[in-house]
Structure 1
Amino acid sequence: MTEHHVIASGGFSAGIRALGAELTSLRDDRGAEWLWQAGPEWRRHAPVLFPIVGRLAGDRLRHAGREHRLTQHGFARDRRFAWVRRDADRCRLRLADDAASRDAFPFGFVLELDYALAGPRLTVTAILSNPGAEPLPCALGAHPAFRWPLPHGPGERPAEKAAHRLVLERAEAGPLRRLRDGLLRPEPEPPPFAERVWPLSPDLFAGDALILPRLASRAIRFEAPGRGLTLSWEGYRDLGLWSKPEGADFLCIEPWYGMASPEGWQGDFVDKPGLMLLAPGESRRLAWSVALD
């Protein structure tokens, strides 16, 4: 099986691997790499989070009187997807339930990831289907890590990390959520900035990820003087922002549907807050895209 595939369009390129259906590279028409290259601080690039986002208490999924071990962010990021198509500017990969997945997650599913590149815009579409006879409860998330500082052109000096900022599509007045030992803390917090523009600093992540549930925005811009990217999404409801507080050179901008279990919650998985629930035979399409400039 071919492990990697590269798609290209208009001088831009993206690399995808079968393991985890993970995006591993995103290069502009000057050859500059925009995606974090899995350094020692964090050994991933852009994992697919399924069938959970975040953690379950004790890493245990409880359903129909049984317990299943399911670790943080689920198993899709560590499973080899099958290639459905590999074209010059597009590819699609597929993962379906099997005996190994049902040992951790006792539900039927088919998850396809479609990567399409059109010049400076990469679109990643997830098609999630329930082939089973009972409802499919699950979460799904993207976890792309972009270089921070952003790449610079030939002869240019890189921007300082403190010169970067996030610009949300809308001001987000809703509560911010934080994690403690991987679980959702019960106390909501106000967003760190009241306006659409959020200056960036590693200090923002001293308390782990910033989680914006059910946010109004459907796009966010990550920029420094003279360069930037815009990430937009459809179908996802929540947004996670994360970096290593010690100052690793990446920023994760993560559209999610679902998040970690609240502290103290240990019910049947079907009743877990924030999950999507697909009826037998139902399919759902979620997408995110990133445009470089």
Structure 2
Amino acid sequence: MTTTLSNGILTATIADLGAELLSLSDAGGRELMTDADPAYWTGHAPILFPIVGRLHGDRYRLGDTSYVMPQHGFARRRNFAKVAQDDTSATFALADDAETLSMYPFAFVLHVEHSLEGATLKTLVSVTNSGEQDLPASIGFHPAFAWPLPYGGAKEAHRMMFSDAEAGTIAEIAANGTISANPRPSPLEGRVLHLTDRLFEDDALVWDPVASTSVSYGTESGRQLRVDFPGMPRLGVWTKPGANFVCIEPWDGIADPEGFDGDIFDKPGIRRVAPGETHRVAMSVTLVG
């Protein structure tokens, strides 16, 4: 099942599966998201929960017990219940059940709200600890935007402008998908990332931490997308060479350090959510120009 929101400026389509944004188009019907070519990646904009990235050996430890958890968690593969909707907003919910408890023995309620305001799509994700013990959780966004955008300009003319100056290094992703102890040089030229397939031959670019709170994406003279992510401490940028998309991924978690074997509560990027408390993160996408 899908839900469509529209305000005459943007139209968004969201799936019950993962509460995932499938499509975002402008008033002329031009698609701003990935073509989801199965030769590369069929995702669109999954919500990452309760982890971001890959665990060492796809396992985590809680006390003396080990649990299997797939990359980016399980929320993107679960059907959410739609709990509210009007013309321009919809809210979806996922709660623990027998299947989630088998890999993540915690009580939770995860809400995803998508809303349109003018030329902006806002996505708010919140997790509430509905249990009686602390909840370990990370949340991430993974939207894949059309590359090139449908406003003219070759792929190689597209770039990302970071809102703030960034450090001179970024994280290095190891062969097994975890984070190497050895950083790599940043590919930024000033605050600009000039997009080429070559950048992604060794997987994603990961800023940990990221100083910026927004990134503008597009050609220098054409219409652009501005992705705002205030309060999110990390950012991934990813594609597969040859694909017609690029992901701009604000995260509050991150993959395990290479060789990590500590408790889940000691994993970098994990938030400890107390019983009855709610952890919230937000991202917005604005069509500019």
| TM band (smaller chain) | over 0.9
- Does structure 2 conserve the Cα–Cα contact (< 8 Å) formed by 1:24 and 1:37? no
Deviation for aligned residue 1:98: 1.2
The answer to whether the aligner puts 1:162 opposite 2:156 as a matched pair is yes
User: Which residue number in structure 2 is paired with residue 235 of structure 1?
Assistant: 231
- Does structure 1 conserve the Cα–Cα contact (< 8 Å) formed by 2:35 and 2:244? no
User: Which residue number in structure 2 is paired with residue 12 of structure 1?
Assistant: 10
Equivalent residue letter for 1:196: R
User: Which residue number in structure 1 is paired with residue 132 of structure 2?
Assistant: 133
Output aligned runs, 1:90-129, within 5 Å. 90-129=89-128
User: Which residue number in structure 1 is paired with residue 26 of structure 2?
Assistant: 28
Regions of 4+ moved over 3 Å: none
Deviations 1:96-133 (A, max 9, x none): 11111011111221110000001210000011111111
Deviations 1:40-76 (A, max 9, x none): 1101111111111111111112112111111111100
Deviation for aligned residue 1:236: 1.8
Q: Matches of 1:31 and 1:202 in 2, distance apart?
A: 27
Q: TM-score, structure 2 length as denominator?
A: 0.96
Q: Gaps (5+ residues) in structure 1?
A: 153-157
Q: TM-score, structure 1 length as denominator?
A: 0.95
Deviation for aligned residue 1:174: 5.3
Equivalent residue letter for 2:6: A
Q: Gaps (5+ residues) in structure 2?
A: none
- Does structure 1 conserve the Cα–Cα contact (< 8 Å) formed by 2:173 and 2:179? yes
Secondary structure in 2 matching 1:234: coil
Give aligned-pair identity as a percent: 45
Q: Matches of 2:168 and 2:132 in 1, distance apart?
A: 37
Q: Matches of 1:81 and 1:235 in 2, distance apart?
A: 25
Equivalent residue letter for 1:35: M
Secondary structure in 1 matching 2:99: helix
- Does structure 1 conserve the Cα–Cα contact (< 8 Å) formed by 2:214 and 2:230? no
Q: Matches of 1:193 and 1:235 in 2, distance apart?
A: 21
Equivalent residue letter for 1:110: V
Between the two proteins, the alignment pairs up a number of residues equal to 285
Deviation for aligned residue 1:9: 0.8
User: Which residue number in structure 1 is paired with residue 265 of structure 2?
Assistant: 270
The RMSD of aligned alpha carbons is 1.1
